Structures are given as C-alpha cells and as structure tokens.
Amino acid sequence: MMGSGSDLCTSLSRLRVSAGSAGRELVFMEVCGTHTTSAFRSGLHSLMPDNVTLLSGPGCPVCVTAQGDIDLLIELAQQPQVTLCTYGDMLRVPGARGSLETARGHGASVRIVYGAMDALAFAEQHPDRQVVLASVGFETTAPGAAAAILTAQRRHVVNFTVLASHKRVVPAMLALLRAGEVRLDGFLCPGHVSVIIGSEVYRPIVEDHGLPCVVAGFEPVQMAAALAELTEQACGRRAELINQYIEAVTSTGNRTAQLLLDEVFEPAEVRWRGLGTIPESGLVIRNKYQAFDAQSRFNLAPAEDHEPRGCLCGQVITGKATPRDCKLFGTTCTPVHPIGPCMVSSEGTCQAWFKYRGAGTCPGRTARRGQEVRA
C-alpha cells in the first residue's frame, strides 16, 4: 500500500535537496479531500522541509458547498413526505437551523447512502416516499448522480429526485488564481477528479498562469514524488504539466463518464463557500431532466447565503487562512461540536488539523492550541 520505503526516501531527499536550494518559502496547494486526509494521516507534513507548505484548497465537497445550499437540504429533509439520502459527510454540517443529524433526531427521514444508485434503489422500494438524493461533490460523484437519473427515467421511477450542488474543480482553481489573494508556487492536482476529466484540463493553469501542475495519486510516496517534482520546477522557474498518476489518469479522461455528465448536467454559475459565485463552475440538471430535479419538484427558492459568525472556513479552503487563524478553531468549533463544514468532513482541513496535528485540546487538560508533536 505504502509503496517501497526506498521510493519514499528518494522522493523525500529530492524534495529536501531542491527545497534547500530554493532559498525561499514554497507554497503548493492540493485541491482534493483525499490528498488532505492522506497527508495528515500519514504524517507527510512532519517529513516535509520547513520552507515547503502544502495548503488544502477547495477540494473537499462538503466544505465548498455554500451555506445556503446546506440550509436548503435541511429544510427539504424536514418535509414529512421526503426521505433525504445523503453521503455521510453531509450529516453533521450545521445549517442556519440545525443539521441533518439534529433534523433526523427530530423525526426527519434521513438516510446515509454510499452512492446515487443506493438512493434510487431505496426510492423503488418505497414508492410512498419522495426520495431525494442530496448530491454534492466534483466531477467524481456527479456521473453517479447522472446515471441514477437516467436509470430512474428508464424505469419510470417517479418518486426519485436529485438536489444537485455539484462543482467543477478547474473553474475554482482558476478563480482562486484570478483573485490573486493567495501566492502559490504550483498545484498538486487531484487524483480522483482527474480520472474523469483527464490531465489536459490543467493546461491553462500552466500556460496562462505559469504555475507547475502535477497530477498525483494518494499514497504518501506518490504525494512526496509530486511535491519533489513541483519543488524542482519552482526552483528552476519552470512550469510544466506532469501526470504522475498514469495508472489511473489519462490526458483526456473517462469519455463514458464525461458523456453521462454532459447528457444530464450543464455547466452553470454557482455559489461556492469562500469563493462566491464562479461562472461555469457548477453542474446543474438540464431542463430535459427537470422531472428529476428536486429544485423544481419541490419548487425550492434558492436559499439566502450566509456564513456562521466568526467561521473562517471560506478563507481556509481558499488558502487565505489556516485553521489556526480562526478564533473558533479548537475552542468552540471541534469535531464533536462543529461550527463550519471544514471541521465536519473527514476531508476537511480543520478536522484534519484538529485530529492529526494535535491542535485541539484534551478534555480536562491545559489547552494546547496550535501545538504539534515534536520529538
């Protein structure tokens, strides 16, 4: 699983040598929740040179979902005829009035599913319920939702709809760069998303913004190799697009999944937490599949957007702040009592910091905010 130790040593020493010659701080960003989790879980950060930082960008599906969209689905779950199917991460995200978890505690019908097809199967087994799939995620989860909608249409399932708040990763990366508020030296491009959309889509980042892009897998050894490549490019003032995840990612991606996406969804301007609205950055259900769109089935008005008071999730996922900058982090906002989504999701930066960097407090002990384990 971990790859051979010598590969890792080679990559880490490449990283150290080039970082040593950089003579400056290098900041890279990953935009994939699985990269976030893998780096923290394996302790990769503790092995990186001091002048290299790996930030987590807008790659956690729960975290990038606008607060208004979360309010909307909690409201929908409270309708008596509705069974809301959701991915587990969404359950505890607080909305303006409680979370799906608290709604469930008050009698709302909320089911955790692992895939869109599970929700469809539940709808077929329960024709008396209005089954709504709360579908969040990037180009990775959207094809599943598209396939479920097409299957529902073929099987004439009339009690199944999708409340889609899907996002496209590249428009968000470009929006982040255009805003110019975060200085980056390169992107560690996502693995799962790239399986679907291919590696060539990052070309504009390399050519128009002069930033290196490396597509990588999720093993620590793969991430270390990608960081070494990024550091070498940054030191050499080069910007190239490198696909280091060739076992899973091709230059053009998964054509079948792309056709599915294109059939059911169309790109649209949508709102992101922390990034505002970005043109072409979302995937909304096309008019011809309106019958399966929960938004139109339940005549939902777009919810007003707001952020929890004091919560810096929006800035954390855009690299403008670290969890440590947030006054709520580790004090009022913890994995047990989360305020913002980044503390809820196991892919969220705040939860990863809290769990794996020891930034939280131990019950009954002195607060150790910001402390890391050192030898």
| Site residues, other proteins (CB under 8 A) | 1-2, 5, 8, 33-34, 40-47, 61-62, 87-92, 112, 114, 136-138, 140-141, 192, 220-221, 335-336, 345-347, 354-358, 360, 362-365, 368, 372-373, 375
Q: Which is nearer to other proteins, 202 or 353 (CB)?
A: 353
CB of 119 vs other proteins, minimal distance in Å = 13
C-beta of 111 vs 209, nearer to other proteins: 111
Q: Compare residues 8 and 52 and give the one whose CB is closer to other proteins.
A: 8
* The token pair that represents 361 in the structure block: 């407090």
Helices 142-154, 255-264: inter-axial angle, 10-degree rounding: 60
Q: From the CB of 140, what's the least distance to other proteins, in Å? A: 4
Contact 189, 202 (CB under 8 A): yes
The Cα–Cα gap between 131 and 160 comes to 5
CB closer to other proteins out of 62 and 311 = 62
- Beta carbon of residue 284, minimum distance to other proteins (angstroms, whole number): 19
In this complex, which beta carbon is closest to other proteins, that of residue 231 or of residue 351? 351
Shortest separation between residue 208's beta carbon and other proteins, angstroms? 28
Instruction: Tell the smallest beta-carbon distance from residue 77 to other proteins (Å).
Output: 16
Residue 21: phi, psi to the nearest 5? -90, -5
Shortest approach of other proteins to residue 342 CB, angstroms? 14
Q: Which is nearer to other proteins, 184 or 201 (CB)?
A: 201
User: By C-alpha distance, which of 278, 279, 202 is closest to 243?
Assistant: 202
- Least distance between other proteins and beta carbon 213 (Å): 20
Q: Which amino acid is at 99?
A: S
In the complex with other proteins, the residue whose CB is nearer, 194 or 233, is 194
- How far apart, in whole angstroms, are the C-alpha atoms of residue 220 and residue 249? 18
Residue whose tokens read 């979370």: 99
Q: Is residue 57 within 8 Å of residue 31, measured between CB atoms?
A: yes
> β-pairing, 186-189 with 213-215?
parallel
Q: Could you tell me how far CA 253 lies from the centroid of its own chain? A: 19
Nearer to other proteins, 38 or 78 (CB): 38
In order, the DSSP letters of 225-268 are HHHHHHHHHHHTT---EEE--TTT--SS--HHHHHHHHHHEEEE
A 10 A CB-CB count for 111 gives 15
In the β-sheet with 160-167, what is the strand arrangement from edge to edge?
109-112, 82-86, 130-137, 160-167, 276-285, 265-272
CB of 260 to other proteins, least distance (A): 16
Q: Which is nearer to other proteins, 68 or 348 (CB)?
A: 348
Whether 321 contacts 312, CB under 8 Å:
yes
CB 132 within 8 A of CB 84: yes
Least spacing, CB of residue 113 vs other proteins, in Å: 8
Closer residue to other proteins in complex, CB, 255/337:
337
Q: How far is the CB of 368 from other proteins (least distance, A)?
A: 8
| Pairing mode of beta strands 130-137, 52-56 | unpaired
User: Which residues, other chains included, contact 32 with Cβ-Cβ below 8 Å and sequence gap of 6+?
Assistant: 59, 189, 190, 191, 192, 193
SS3 assignment, position 214: strand
